[in-house]
Every structure is written in structure tokens, then in C-alpha cells.
């Protein structure tokens, strides 16, 4: 009998007592137990704060991101053994793919964010704020990792994805985590977790695991900790109201099951590509993970005239779904996670039937495919058709967390939006339409009540990830019933685990603190021309003040001829009446090009190439006869890893370019990016 363990303070520990039995969802066999009785939760938090947090905070964003990439590659090489374990949860191969490879994909996606983050343990947030007339006093927001632990309380339906999508973000932010999966599927989480620990890729203390019941785990969080919860709205509200959460103002991010919906646009007719897309999408969302998804379609909202057509089409599509042993290739839908979950779903269906009629499902006998199946955890898809669609209807209140969905009719788009919003806040809504006017009206009307909206039609259906698939670089969450939280979301996600602090002082001091040059800060004199210095030799604040150049009318005319930019302000002095210009004005891009001519060192050196341009602004017209000069300042340095042994060691250097005229007024500013070779290649 397998005994699922916990990972506490660097050690694998079994809980006390007989433990909770673990049942194979397909065969019904008891194969293991899990317990967290007797664990020292206080020591877990102490260890995470004192060891894990300290180790992660010492690492830069670049180092943490490369750590995630290494971990993703390590787990991906071992993915097949996770599929074998996932079979016990009742999942099909495709269900497991979403969970396992979707979770690993989250690690890859978050690792890719390193290109947007500094080679520092912290980052600046937004632009600086000038706070004084003379420019000697400014403010800048910075984001630093919190000093606590992230406690992740996850649902049973995605034991791998649920863990990896969350830890990817907190680890990138520089914060350790305690992972608390649902006990019923914790054996799959433990299998992946063991490989994470055995890889030795993460620093000591970065992750801990509680596989059994949470007991009073949440009583140990403090003000520097973060709690994330995924599960039922009812349980989430109870945890969020915990006095310890309130007393210590602990950030609590909640992602709760919700009454997600899919709308069929008024423009869609039976036989059209969009109608087929709609039926296929709803069917898929009902049977994937046997409907055990927080993003599954619970309400199918269609034009009143199309209710019968949709009912018949879905009934036919669902009748062809083969249910049973997910090892068999013919099987497209597996079991629920256990007998108890079937009973819970059917109890909710009985409530829904007070406001809806049965279209299909709930047969006294389910035809299961395969010799090893035991029917306790299986159920067939249940499709209902609403009678009562008002605000008091159970279809807008009750969620059956399984393969259950209800068809609802609407008379016009305004009513469709209203019905969608009656769910009181959802993780996701989708609309299938080929009319962009309908799509726009729906999206803007439903957005306040939904965390994500998918517009699906023939143009994107082939490559669409679907209604139920949250993506790593977009937020996953929703308002109201859905919990009011946000997970993932790319760079937004790391901010949940970092403290935003406003730092005020002189531009010079804030440059040193942030390691990003702040306009107005004192210049540093480099040993030689910056373009002759390698990446390691450059310092933020190093400034080259160039010689000057007088702009001529011939320059402006020649640039117009070379660039083919004959905009009237540059070429036709007779057309300037009523404009802001008093005479022929130099092209902004010529001014920038002329500036490059002043600051570029033409000889071969450490600068490999111009990597890009950011934040370019033309602030004052430049006319013939004016003289310009340039101040070129190292603004920020970003390390780059070598992609192969043959690759050149290099980094990205951002330069702040300030172009000024003969009266010392700024005419243009820009940030240019250069790729610079390192000393030790």
C-alpha cells in the first residue's frame, strides 16, 4: 500500500495515523493513503521564511527565470511517468496533457519573462515621477520580494497544473512556497514534486509540500505571506474570512469555481461554420476532465429560436461520447475523481431540475467501455434546458462540478449580456459569432463580470486554445463569485508576491538604488568612449557628452529624398500657416539619426549591434541653423545567457539619449538598446 508523504523543512515525512484512503478512480481499488496529522506547521513557515526566502531573494530575476527553464526541461523529460500516475485520477490522455504538459508549459512561459526583467533581485515599477520644479527631487516605485512564504491551497482537478502555474510565479518573484494539493489527488502532485526535489535545481527551502488535510495550516500565515486558493466559492469565502487572514492583512488571492457561459451569436445559423464550432466547443468543455474544471461551460446561452436546434445537436454529439477506461483509445471521457464527487454532482443536478428540464443524461445504466472499470465514479454528460431564467433561478446560483450544462434562451443581445452577468462573476465567458459588432457589444457589456472573454469564429477556431484554457501570460481569475482574484498574467503575476514601495530622493541617489538611470542624475565619466567598453566595464550613469552639429536646410531636403518622407512640414514652407511650425522643420528621425552620428564610435569594438529603440519623443522643433548635441548615458544593463557553447557572451545595454539645442533645451529623448560583448567570451 503506497503511503503518500509530505515534504517538510527538507525532509520527506509521513503523517500519523492510518490516513485517508486513496482510490483508483477507474478500477475502484484502494492503492494508498495520505495523512498530514502530526506535522509541525509552524516549523514549515519558519523554514520557508528563514531559509527558502533568503536563498531566493539573493538570486536575480535572470537567475530565477533560468532556474524555471531548467526545471521545465527536467520535468518534460520525465513526463510519461506522470501520465501513468494521472490514470488513477480517471483522466484521459488529453485530460492529463492539459494538466501535466500545461503545467510544465507554465514554467517555460514564465521563464521567458526574463527578457523583460532586470538582472537584479528587484525591479522598478513604471516611470519616475518628478516631484519638484527644479528636478532635484523625484519618486520611483520599486518592487521587492516579500519576506514570507506563499501558501498555495489547490483544487483536486488539476494536481500538476495547479501546483506549477502558481509556483512558477512566486519563484520568479523570489518567494518560497508551501504547496497544499487536495488530498484525493495529492499522489500525482507528490510524484512531480519528488522529481522537483531530486533535481536539486531549486535552492534549499524554496518548496514544501503538505499532501494530507490542511487542518489549521492557514492559522500560521503572517503579514509578509501570501495565500492563494483554488476551489469552491463557499470554501474560499470561509478561508478568506479567517481571523488570522484579517488580523495580519494577509493578501488572499481566490480563484473559485464559477458559472461560466458560452453564447451563440444572433448571426449564427445552423449549418454555418460558427454553429459547428459552437457545438464542438460546448461538447469538449462538458467532457474534458469529465466536466471537473473551474472554467467549464455551465450555461449555454443561445437565441430563443435556436434552443431546439442546439439541444438536438448537442444531444447527438454527447451520445457519441465513449465513456470508460481511459487506457482504451476509443474512450473520450473518463470518470469523476471519485464516488463522492458523483454524489455531490447529482445532488446539485436535483436542485437545477427545479428550474430546468432534462435533455439527455441520467440513464439508469451507463454503458462503460473497458474491462477494468468499476462504475462508482462514472457518470454520463447531463444536458438541461432552462424553464426559469430569472434572477431567482438555480441555474444562476448552483454549480454541478461535473459534466453538466444548461441551455438558456435569449431574445436579444442585451438579454444575453444580462444572462451572462447573472452568474455574479465568472472566470471566463465566450461568444461564437462572425459579426464583430455583436462581438464588441458583448465583450464590453460582459467584461465587468468576467475575468476572460473568448471570441470564437472561423478565423481563429483552428488555433484557438479554447474556452476553458487559461494562458500563462494572461490573467486567470474573475470578479464576484469567481473570487475577485488574478493568477498568472505574465509580469502582472509576480506583483502578487512583491511589495511595491515608493522611493523618494534625488535622481542621483535613486539611480544608485534602482540601478536604472533617472533623468537629472549626476553623470559619471567613463574611462573611454562607452562603445569601446565591454558589458562588465560599463556602469549605470556613465555618460558621453558629444561634440555638436548644426542642422542645415540641405540636411532636411536630402533626408526627405533619401527616406521618401515628403511630409509637408519638411518640404513645403508655403503650407505652414495654421500649424505649430514657423519654418521648414527637420524630420524627427533625421534628428535621431544625426544624434547617432554624434555618439556612435564607428570602429569595431564590443558593441555587436543596435537591438532596438524605446520611448522615443520629439519635444521641440529643430529648424535649419539650430545646433544640437547629445548626452548618451548608460540607463540599464540586462544580462543575457548563452544559447549554446558557440554563442557569444553578451548583454543588453540600454542608453538614455538626450538631444539638446544651442540654448540647452531638450529637443528629443529616446532609449536605445545595444547588444554588447562581455570580456570573458
- Tell me: do 229 and 345 sit in the same domain: no
* Residue 372 covered by a domain: yes
For residue range 264-305, list pLDDT tens digits in order. Answer: 999 999 999 999 999 999 999 999 999 999 999 999 999 999
Asked whether the predicted pLDDT for residue 26 surpasses 80, the reply is: yes
Q: How far is CA 175 from the centre of its chain?
A: 17
For residue range 562-583, list pLDDT tens digits in order. Answer: 999 999 999 988 898 989 999 9
For residue range 418-438, list pLDDT tens digits in order. Answer: 999 999 999 999 999 999 999
CATH number, domain of 393, equals 3.40.309.10
- Tell me: do 449 and 557 sit in the same domain: no
* Residue 491 covered by a domain: no
Count: domains in the chain = 3
Contacts 24+ apart (CB under 8 A), 123-127: 123/61, 124/514, 124/516, 125/495, 125/500
What is the model's pLDDT at position 177? 97
CATH number, domain of 178, equals 3.40.605.10
Structural domain for 393, as ranges:
261-467
Cα 563 to Cα 548: distance, rounded to the nearest angstrom? 23
For residue range 333-349, list pLDDT tens digits in order. Answer: 999 999 999 999 999 99
- Tell me: do 363 and 325 sit in the same domain: yes
* Residue 63 covered by a domain: yes
Closest by Cα among 449, 485, 436 to 261: 449
Task: Give me the mean pLDDT over the 300-328 stretch.
Answer: 95
- Name the domain boundary from 452, 467, 482: 467
- Name the domain boundary from 223, 257, 291: 257
What is the model's pLDDT at position 561? 95
Closest by Cα among 227, 283, 319, 516 to 405: 283
- Tell me: do 277 and 222 sit in the same domain: no
- Tell me: do 270 and 349 sit in the same domain: yes
- Tell me: do 201 and 283 sit in the same domain: no
Cα 292 to Cα 256: distance, rounded to the nearest angstrom? 13
- Tell me: do 439 and 550 sit in the same domain: no
Cα 655 to Cα 316: distance, rounded to the nearest angstrom? 63
For residue range 85-106, list pLDDT tens digits in order. Answer: 999 999 999 999 999 999 999 9
- Tell me: do 633 and 647 sit in the same domain: yes
Q: Which residues pair with 607 in a beta bridge?
A: 676
* Residue 73 covered by a domain: yes
- Tell me: do 292 and 160 sit in the same domain: no
For residue range 614-623, list pLDDT tens digits in order. Answer: 889 999 999 9
Burial class (CB in 10 A: 0-12, 13-18, 19+), 194: middle
Task: Give me the mean pLDDT over the 340-368 stretch.
Answer: 92
Q: Which residues, 6+ apart, have CB-to-CB distance to 234 below 8 Å? A: none
- Tell me: do 55 and 105 sit in the same domain: yes
DSSP 138-158: EEEEEEEE-SS-EEEE--SS-
* Residue 141 covered by a domain: no
CATH number, domain of 619, equals 3.10.129.10
Q: Which residues, 6+ apart, have CB-to-CB distance to 361 below 8 Å? A: 318, 379, 380, 381, 382, 383, 403, 404
Q: Which residues, 6+ apart, have CB-to-CB distance to 436 below 8 Å? A: none
- Tell me: do 170 and 207 sit in the same domain: yes
N-term to C-term CA, the chain = 54
What are the residue ranges of helices labelled H in 428-490? Answer: 436-446
Q: Active-site residue numbers?
A: 255, 294
Q: Which residues, 6+ apart, have CB-to-CB distance to 432 below 8 Å? A: 262, 263, 264, 265, 268, 274, 277, 278, 281, 456, 457
Closest by Cα among 32, 26, 24, 41 to 213: 41
pLDDT band at 681 (very low <50, low <70, confident <90, very high): low
What is the model's pLDDT at position 298? 96
For residue range 170-191, list pLDDT tens digits in order. Answer: 999 999 999 999 999 999 999 9
Q: Which residues, 6+ apart, have CB-to-CB distance to 547 below 8 Å? A: 598, 629
* Residue 492 covered by a domain: no
- Name the domain boundary from 222, 238, 257: 257
Q: What is the mean pLDDT of the chain?
A: 93
pLDDT band at 490 (very low <50, low <70, confident <90, very high): confident
- Residues 665 and 620 sit within 8 Å (Cβ to Cβ): yes
* Residue 358 covered by a domain: yes
- Tell me: do 36 and 184 sit in the same domain: yes
What is the model's pLDDT at position 640? 84
* Residue 516 covered by a domain: no
Say how many C-beta atoms besides its own lie within 10 A of residue 133's C-beta.
7
Amino acid at each position: 500500500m503506497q503511503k503518500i508523504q509530505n515534504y517538510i523543512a527538507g525532509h520527506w515525512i509521513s503523517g500519523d495515523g492510518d490516513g485517508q484512503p486513496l482510490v483508483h478512480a477507474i478500477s475502484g481499488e484502494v492503492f494508498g493513503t495520505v495523512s498530514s496529522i502530526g506535522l509541525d506547521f509552524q516549523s514549515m513557515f519558519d523554514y520557508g521564511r528563514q531559509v527558502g526566502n533568503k536563498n531566493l531573494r539573493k538570486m536575480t530575476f535572470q537567475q530565477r527565470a533560468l532556474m524555471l527553464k531548467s526545471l521545465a526541461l527536467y520535468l518534460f523529460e520525465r513526463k510519461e511517468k506522470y501520465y501513468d500516475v494521472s490514470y488513477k485520477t480517471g483522466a484521459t490522455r488529453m485530460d492529463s496533457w492539459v494538466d501535466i504538459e500545461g503545467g510544465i508549459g507554465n514554467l517555460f512561459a514564465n521563464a521567458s519573462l526574463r527578457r523583460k526583467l532586470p538582472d537584479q533581485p528587484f525591479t522598478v515599477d513604471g516611470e519616475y515621477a518628478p516631484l519638484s520644479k527644479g528636478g532635484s527631487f523625484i519618486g520611483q516605485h520599486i518592487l521587492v520580494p516579500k519576506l514570507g512564504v506563499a501558501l498555495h491551497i489547490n483544487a483536486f482537478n488539476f494536481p500538476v497544473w495547479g501546483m506549477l502555474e502558481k509556483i512558477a510565479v512566486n519563484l520568479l518573484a523570489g518567494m518560497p512556497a508551501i504547496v497544499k494539493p487536495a488530498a484525493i489527488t495529492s499522489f500525482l502532485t507528490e510524484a512531480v514534486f519528488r522529481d522537483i526535489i531530486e533535481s536539486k535545481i531549486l535552492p534549499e527551502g524554496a518548496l514544501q509540500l503538505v499532501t494530507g488535510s490542511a487542518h489549521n495550516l492557514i492559522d500560521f500565515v503572517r503579514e509578509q505571506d501570501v495565500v492563494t486558493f483554488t476551489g469552491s466559492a463557499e470554501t474560499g469565502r470561509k478561508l478568506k474570512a479567517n481571523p488570522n487572514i484579517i488580523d495580519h492583512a494577509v493578501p488572499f488571492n481566490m480563484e473559485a469555481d464559477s458559472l461560466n457561459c458560452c453564447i451563440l451569436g444572433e448571426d449564427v445559423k445552423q449549418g454555418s461554420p460558427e454553429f459547428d464550432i459552437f457545438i464542438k466547443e460546448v461538447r469538449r468543455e462538458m467532457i474534458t476532465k469529465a466536466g471537473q474544471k473551474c472554467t467549464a461551460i455551465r450555461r449555454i446561452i443561445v437565441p430563443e429560436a435556436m434552443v431546439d436546434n442546439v439541444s438536438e445537436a448537442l444531444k447527438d454529439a454527447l451520445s457519441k461520447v465513449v465513456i470508460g477506461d481511459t487506457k482504451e483509445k476509443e474512450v473520450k471521457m473518463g470518470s469523476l475523481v471519485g464516488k463522492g464527487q458523483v454524489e455531490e454532482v447529482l445532488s446539485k443536478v436535483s436542485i437545477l431540475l427545479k428550474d430546468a428540464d432534462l435533455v439527455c443524461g441520467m440513464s439508469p445504466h451507463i454503458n462503460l467501455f473497458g474491462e477494468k472499470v468499476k462504475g462508482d465514479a462514472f457518470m454520463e454528460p447531463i444536458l438541461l434546458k432552462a424553464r426559469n431564467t430569472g434572477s431567482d433561478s438555480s441555474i444562476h446560483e448552483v454549480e454541478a462540478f461535473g459534466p453538466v450544462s444548461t441551455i438558456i434562451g435569449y431574445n436579444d443581445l442585451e438579454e444575453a449580456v444580462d444572462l451572462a452577468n447573472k452568474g455574479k462573476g465568472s472566470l471566463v465567458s465566450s461568444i461564437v459569432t462572425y459579426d464583430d459588432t455583436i462581438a464588441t457589444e458583448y465583450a464590453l457589456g460582459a467584461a465587468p463580470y468576467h475575468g476572460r472573454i473568448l471570441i470564437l469564429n472561423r478565423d481563429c477556431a483552428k488555433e484557438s486554445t479554447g474556452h476553458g484554457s487559461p494562458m500563462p501570460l494572461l490573467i486567470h481569475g474573475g470578479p464576484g463569485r469567481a473570487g475577485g482574484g488574478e493568477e498568472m498574467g505574465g509580469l502582472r503575476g509576480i506583483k502578487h508576491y512583491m511589495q511595491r514601495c515608493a522611493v523618494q530622493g534625488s535622481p542621483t541617489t535613486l539611480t544608485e538604488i534602482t540601478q536604472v538611470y533617472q533623468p537629472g542624475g549626476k553623470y559619471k565619466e567613463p574611462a573611454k568612449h562607452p562603445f569601446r567598453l565591454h558589458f562588465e566595464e560599463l556602469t549605470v550613469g556613465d555618460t558621453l557628452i558629444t561634440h555638436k552639429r548644426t542642422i542645415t536646410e540641405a540636411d532636411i531636403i536630402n533626408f526627405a529624398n533619401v527616406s521618401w518622407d515628403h511630409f509637408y512640414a519638411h518640404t513645403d514652407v508655403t503650407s505652414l500657416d495654421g500649424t505649430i511650425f514657423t519654418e521648414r522643420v527637420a524630420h524627427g528621425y533625421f534628428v535621431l539619426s544625426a544624434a547617432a552620428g554624434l555618439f556612435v564610435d564607428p570602429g569595431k569594438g564590443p558593441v555587436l549591434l543596435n537591438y532596438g529603440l524605446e520611448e522615443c519623443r520629439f519635444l521641440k522643433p529643430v529648424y535649419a541653423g539650430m545646433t544640437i548635441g547629445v548626452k548618451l548615458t548608460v540607463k540599464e544593463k540586462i544580462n543575457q545567457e548563452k544559447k549554446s557553447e558557440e554563442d557569444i557572451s553578451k548583454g543588453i545595454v540600454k542608453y538614455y539619449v538626450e538631444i539638446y539645442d544651442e540654448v540647452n533645451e531638450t529637443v528629443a529623448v529616446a532609449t536605445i538598446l545595444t547588444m554588447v560583448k562581455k570580456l570573458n567570451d
